[in-house]
Structure 1
Amino acid sequence: MGDRTHIQQGWRRTGLWLAVVALFGLIPRPLLAAEEGEGNENISEVLIHHTADGYYVALEPFVTIELPRIFLVRTSEGSWRLDAFGSTASALHSGRYVADYEGHRYESSAELEELIAAHHHLYAELHPREGELVLDLSITRHYVFGLIAALLVLALFIPVAQRYRKGIGRTTAPRGVLQNLAEVFIVFVRDEIARPNIGEKADRFLPYLLTAFFFILFCNLLGLVPNLGAATSNLAVTGVLALFTFIIGTIYASKDHWKHIFWPPGVPVFVKPILIPVEIMGLFTRHAALAIRLFANMTAGTLVILSLIGLIFMINALFGALVAWMSTLPSVLLTLFISAIKLLVAFIQAYVFTLLSALFIGMSVAEHDHEHHEHEEEAGNEPVVHAVPTSDGARVVVHG
């Protein structure tokens, strides 16, 4: 009994000391945070740099690869010049360009060397010393990630296509894990997305839908790899994908589609001038929403994960190392949970984009037999004549 009491008193003393230490750690320390935070990057800047596009690929903690810079410049004499450099640093070393960073222009060689030494040139905006920058054709990291995703799609489906060309999967059962897995997704896109939304013409648009589905899926999955990113978190990439859907729907649109837009049937004439602009706007806004939906969903997941990790450093700056260590486990567990959800979202967003693309294409290529419906309505409005016999053998005509 005495040993139990001694143990309980020991636990109470330990708990009291932990409470005191935790209370001390929870006291905000803005002055100390300011001293320790000198030279550290702002959390918001870190979030922006990791989610925004850039001219480098950061394979931290190993190396940062700078990407080629290509500029189309119009000189002061009015001629055109194409400048190509292997990296941002080499463009600044050439002496032809200056850098703008955080509201300050770096022009002299000493300033540019200082900027490059601090690695801030990666986030700077470059301008030619002479002339006018017309177009920036530089390679960006989202372009690189999109190119990697495209190459992975080719690496996956070229062997599968060769097997189908040999008859494997057509005259015989599919062979191998790769072909069976690919066929599951192909059949899913064909039977659950393309044919229900497009109908008889679905096979004509199936190659585009399959390409869009797998390209988006691989882009989304690359965003889950550390130090890489999703090309679909760039609005330009999702905008081009939505533009492809719009172009295909416009080229293959039926006459009924244009009739519904520029002269909606079944609507009073005085309402048509109001409805026509709405239909034209809807043609563009639904494709714009298609691009924004994919972009927003992929960007949001990255921001949430980076914010949860950033909480550890924010708590360390405000409350100290002890509280930061205590918050590490919850932050990491939440990050793992969000990462698992993001894995699910990677498949869902590929499915949703392909589904909506098939729906929009199906709406464009659909044909409606308006004359048949009009004849049915006219036939329905005609009176029905019934001849009813009477007891004396006469017939009475009854109009329905």
Structure 2
Amino acid sequence: MADPVLHIKDAYFFEIPKKLWPRAFNTKQQVADVSKVWVELDDQFQDYEFHKQYHALEGLGVKLPSEDEAHDAWHNWVHPHDAHGHGDHHAAGHHGPNFGKPFDEFLNSKVAVRKTEFATWKSQKVQAASKLRSEDIRDANDLKYGDYQKADGFKTDAFDPFVDKMLTDAEFPAKWEEAKVAAADVAGFVKDESAETKWSDQKLADYSEHLSGKILIPQPFGRLRNLHEPEAGQLTITKYMIVEVAVALLIAIFFSWLARRVISGAAPKGRMWNFLEVFVVFIRDQIAVPAIGDGHHDEHPNDHHHSGDAASVDAGGHAIAAAANAGPGLGGNGHDHGHAGHGHGKKDHAHVSPAKKFTPLLCTIFFFVLGCNLAGMLPWIGAPTSTWGVTLALALVTFSAVVISGMAQFGFLGFFANQIPSMDMPWYMAIVLKPAIFLIEFGGLLIKHAVLSVRLLANMVAGHLVLLAIMALAFGAEAASQFTVDGSVSPMWWVAAGASILGCTLLSLLELFVAFLQAYVFTLLSALFIGAAIHKH
């Protein structure tokens, strides 16, 4: 069974049992080949990097405390309870709030503190000047960082020379950035075999243990801060991104295959064809048509079940569009019904009903959400829909469809005007009430789509959290096994173990049901929102 914690938290690696992906490092080079980030977080590498950064700052004319004093100040910031220790903190797992942060991050923290102090001081000066003449207000707004340094109460810091350069010298930040890149020399560190940079056998064994079972994701477009965080502003690839791409590819493969058979006009054959057809026809007839409408209000309510438009699919094979335009099945064997009695003659095949037009989008949403949900049932994978970024993006797709389809139907201004329900009232009441109603309705439109993302997120996360709680019983069973009665396992062990196995099994079955249910609910609500956007209120 997959670890529920890993289903909730995204990462830059896939976690599998250590025995299936073992590591046995004998050199620094082997660690660097597997994970450059892991080397960059190493205490000895960061000391090596510190030395190069310190001397680079000297070359840039920045006067800092002595090298030992600067090192101790930085080291105390990283390990506040061990200011002068030089052990294998990273390998041993001694974590603090600034764990793994290099010397340049320490210097950045000094700059950030000064920026905050200066902004607060200037704000107070502007506020005080607001009660005086306009010239005083203008002078207060023109205050610079140098003025703050001369103010009463300014407390100097040993690293102020660096801060001054960053805040007052326009060319210095770019030069410092170049120096940092040169100092982050992993290749040079790996080749250096001096006593200060040599890794002990114990450290290599610790790193082998930590990285066993982790399949790291290559990052060709950006850099990582660690295995869970990217560097600021970097484009990185996460585990859930790969899962989403895999789901999208599977959808494209299966429905391209289905489209080629649908456009052939042959009768549906085979389990896969019939299996996919069940879902597509259900989405078309039971979600899209009731929520969006078929565009023929004067025809019999059941006429939409006999519209065979499979031939309208182009040779490129738009898979789900082929499904949307087919008849009761997807084999193209539906029957057209004329409407001569209504003056229409034969049915116009160029017309595509609103329901059929949006069925491809709704099918795509349904199968993508379902695929991401089901990925959470697979060992060591995780459900992308258990992160808000994914569910918010899906909700934005629905919101975009609502806005675009609404504007296509009523025009740019007409879409916004359609948010106000039709009502008869005197003009003097309308000029007050209608703007207020518009704000309420448009705010409700935004809130509905925000809730759409949160609903899916909450349902997917809740199941994993409950599963995690039940699996905690397994740890209780392990603890109970330590207390024996007459050399045998305590009866409590059997109770805890049995309860955890039964509970996890039942909850996993429930999660399987929820995966389908939430895909259906998300698709249904999307259809309802689109239907509301293209019809007059």
- Distance, in Å, in 2 between the alignment partners of 1:54 and 1:344 is 26
Give the Cα–Cα distance (whole angstroms) in 1 for the partners of residues 445 and 95 of structure 2.
Answer: 40
Aligned to 1:70: none
Letter in 2 for 1:308: I
The verdict on how the C-alpha distance between 1:159 and 1:47 changes in structure 2, with shifts beyond 3 A counting, is: closer
Pick closer, same or farther for the CA change 1:126–1:219 going to 2, 3 Å.
closer
CA distance in 1, matches of 2:22, 2:8: 17
Contact 1:259 1:265 in 2 (8 A): no
Matched, 1:241 2:403: no
User: Equivalent residues in 2 for 1:51-90 (5 A)?
Assistant: 51-63=8-20, 89-90=35-36
1:332 and 2:430 aligned: no
Q: Distance in 2 between matches of 1:149 and 1:266?
A: 50
TM-aligned CA deviation for residue 91 of structure 1: 2.9
Q: CA deviation at 1:63?
A: 4.0
Shift of 1:59: 2.1
**1:259 matched to 2:259:** no
| Letter aligned with residue 158 of structure 1 | S
TM-score, normalised to structure 2, is: 0.49
Q: How far off its partner does 1:47 sit?
A: 5.8
- Aligned partner (choices 19, 34, 39) of residue 93 of structure 1: 39
Which residue does the alignment assign to 2:99?
A: 105
In the alignment, the residues of structure 2 paired with residue 182 and residue 285 of structure 1 have an alpha-carbon distance, to the nearest angstrom, of: 33
Mapped contact 1:239–1:288 kept (Cα < 8 A)? yes
Alpha-carbon distance, 1:207 to partner:
0.8
Q: Give 2:36's aligned amino acid.
A: S
Aligned residues of 2:362 and 2:527 also touching (Cα < 8 A): yes
- Which one is further off, 200-209 or 146-155? 146-155
SS at match of 2:522: helix
Distance 1:273 1:306 in 2: 49
Higher strand content, 1 or 2: 1
2:6–2:382 contact (8 Å) kept in structure 1: no
Q: Aligned in 2, Cα 1:143/1:342: closer, same or farther, shift over 3 Å?
A: same
TM alignment of 1:381-396, pairs within 5 A:
none
Deviation at 1:324, TM superposition (A): 3.0
Q: How many corresponding residue pairs?
A: 297
What are the superposed Cα offsets for residues 363-398 of structure 1, whole Å, 9 maximum, x if unpaired? 111136xxxxxxxxxxxxxxxxxxxxxxxxxxxxxx
Q: Which of 116, 131, 146 is the matching residue for 2:244?
A: 146
For structure 1, list consecutive stretches of 5 or more residues without a partner in the other structure. Answer: 1-45, 67-85, 369-400
Corresponding position of 1:250: 403
8 Å CA contact 2:480–2:493 kept in 1: the answer is no
Against the structure 1 CA distance between its residues 53 and 290, is the aligned structure 2 distance closer, same or farther, given a 3 Å change threshold? same
Picking from 135, 141, 156, the partner of 2:254 is: 156
Tell me the secondary structure at the aligned position of residue 419 of structure 2. Answer: helix
Identical pairs, percent:
34
Corresponding residue of 2:476? 314
Q: 2:378 aligns with which of 222, 225, 228?
A: 225
CA distance in 2, matches of 1:50, 1:353: 20
Moved more, 245-254 or 114-123: 114-123
Structure 1 pair 331/271, CA: closer, same or farther in 2 (3 Å)? same
Partner of 2:513: 344
**Is the aligned partner of 1:304 residue 2:466?**
yes
Q: Are residue 360 (structure 1) and residue 505 (structure 2) matched?
A: no
- The 1:222–1:65 alpha-carbon spacing in structure 2 relative to 1, beyond 3 Å, is farther
1:221–1:343 CA contact under 8 A, matched in 2: yes
Residues 1:88 and 1:292: Cα distance change in structure 2 (over 3 Å) = farther
Q: Which aligned pairs between 1:114-263 and structure 2 lie closer than 5 A?
A: 116-117=207-208, 119=210, 127=225, 133-168=231-266, 173-199=267-293, 200=295, 201-253=354-406, 254-255=409-410, 257-261=415-419
TM-score relative to the length of structure 1: 0.65
Q: State whether residues 8 and 383 of structure 2, in contact with CA within 8 Å, keep that contact through their aligned partners in structure 1.
A: no
Q: Which runs of 5+ in 2 are unaligned?
A: 24-31, 50-77, 79-89, 103-195, 217-222, 296-353, 484-489
Q: 2: CA distance between counterparts of 1:93 and 1:252?
A: 51
1:291 pairs with 450, 453, 470, which one? 453
Aligned-residue RMSD, C-alpha? 3.6
Q: What is the CA deviation profile of residues 302-322 of structure 1, one whole-angstrom value per residue up to 9, with x for unaligned ones?
A: 121122112220354378463
Name the structure 2 match of 1:81: none
Q: Is the 8 A contact 1:56 1:65 kept in 2?
A: no
**Alpha-carbon distance in structure 2 between the residues aligned to 1:257 and 1:87:** 56
Q: CA deviation at 1:203?
A: 1.2
SS of 2:10's equivalent in the other structure is coil
Query: What are the superposed Cα offsets for residues 141-199 of structure 1, whole Å, 9 maximum, x if unpaired?
Result: 1112212211221232121111112222xxxx201000011111110000000011111
Q: Letter of the 1:289 partner, please give it.
A: V
